[in-house]
Structure 1
Amino acid sequence: MHKIPADAWIVVADGTHARLFQNVGKQNHLQLKQSDLIEPDMDDEQGQGPSGQRPPEATPDQTEEATFAKQLANRLNAAALKHQYEHLFLVADPTTLGEMRPQLHVETSKRLCGELAKTLTNTPLEEIEKILQAQD
């Protein structure tokens, strides 16, 4: 049971991209507005996998997904430290969530009001709203 506060950021991600929404609804009404589409930055050498290098047993796809999860966590951390949002709700497939959790700064974690382990990146906005409202 998670209430998503007004003005909260909702990140819907998988290992290849993320959609950033803001709850523009008033009081207890959830209404999402997409504000950004986030894709991997393949030129970001600092984001190479969760430990900064690719484990020998990892496939190239696994490395790219881990790299994107780290890049996304870094972006959310930077925004939290700049006070760009007060509340954050994460929706991501279980693997991406697992890659992101240890990368989240303490300030980002303080703002986390909930998470959902589900792949919804290609789901229409109205359906995402219904799924999140069912979580309330």
Structure 2
Amino acid sequence: MSLQIPQGALVVVADGGEARWFTNTGNEAKVVLRQHARTDVQNVDDDGPAGKAPQDLTGADLDEMTFAKQLSHALNDGALKQEYTHLVLVADPTTLGRVRPLLHKETQQRLVGDLAKDLTNLPLADIQRALS
């Protein structure tokens, strides 16, 4: 699958527990990613998932839901502070499904594409190939 990723776009590649933050230094025809951050779930004991969590969830499920909330907050904060103009979000289907409804209107307007695939642990070259 080929996404149109503008030069300078923020590309976030995530799964249920961590995210890698990139900037596309290439162009729409040739994606060249430069990684500038890596985040994982923070302060799980002090911060829970968004909304009500079903009783039968495991600790791992709660951690993943909490991370999705934290990731969406970081993306929303960046959009509201005008830190990026274009956003591409790549995540496993479950995480993507948890993050999407939590995105602020400003963040949604910057979202130029998303991909429901877990690429988080792949080498940089493989991520670039998957997005080109």
Regarding TM over 0.5, the answer is: yes
Change (3 A) 1:44 1:21: farther
The one-letter code of the counterpart of 2:11 is I
Displacement of 1:43:
5.2
Matched, 1:80 2:83: no
Displacement of 1:27:
6.2
- The total of aligned residue pairs comes to 131
Match of 1:17 in 2: 18
2:69–2:102 Cα contact (<8 Å) kept: yes
Matched, 1:68 2:77: no
Deviation string 1:49-94 (CA, Å, 9 cap, x unpaired) is 121x542111111000000000000000000000000000010000
Displacement of 1:26:
4.4
1:32–1:129 Cα contact (<8 Å) kept: yes
The one-letter code of the counterpart of 1:48 is G
Change (3 A) 1:102 1:122: same
1:22–1:33 Cα contact (<8 Å) kept: yes
The one-letter code of the counterpart of 2:31 is L
The one-letter code of the counterpart of 2:93 is P
Displacement of 1:42:
1.8
Displacement of 1:44:
6.9
1:50–1:99 Cα contact (<8 Å) kept: no
2:13–2:119 Cα contact (<8 Å) kept: yes
1:10–1:90 Cα contact (<8 Å) kept: yes
The alignment yields a C-alpha RMSD, in angstroms, of: 1.5
The one-letter code of the counterpart of 2:56 is E
Distance in 1 (CA, whole Å) between partners of 2:29 and 2:6 is: 7
Identity %: 47
Distance in 1 (CA, whole Å) between partners of 2:45 and 2:6 is: 33
Matched, 1:124 2:120: no
- TM-score relative to the length of structure 2: 0.93
Distance in 2 (CA, whole Å) between partners of 1:55 and 1:78 is: 27
| Structure 2 residues not aligned, in runs of 5+ | none
The one-letter code of the counterpart of 1:58 is L
The one-letter code of the counterpart of 1:30 is V
2:16–2:64 Cα contact (<8 Å) kept: yes
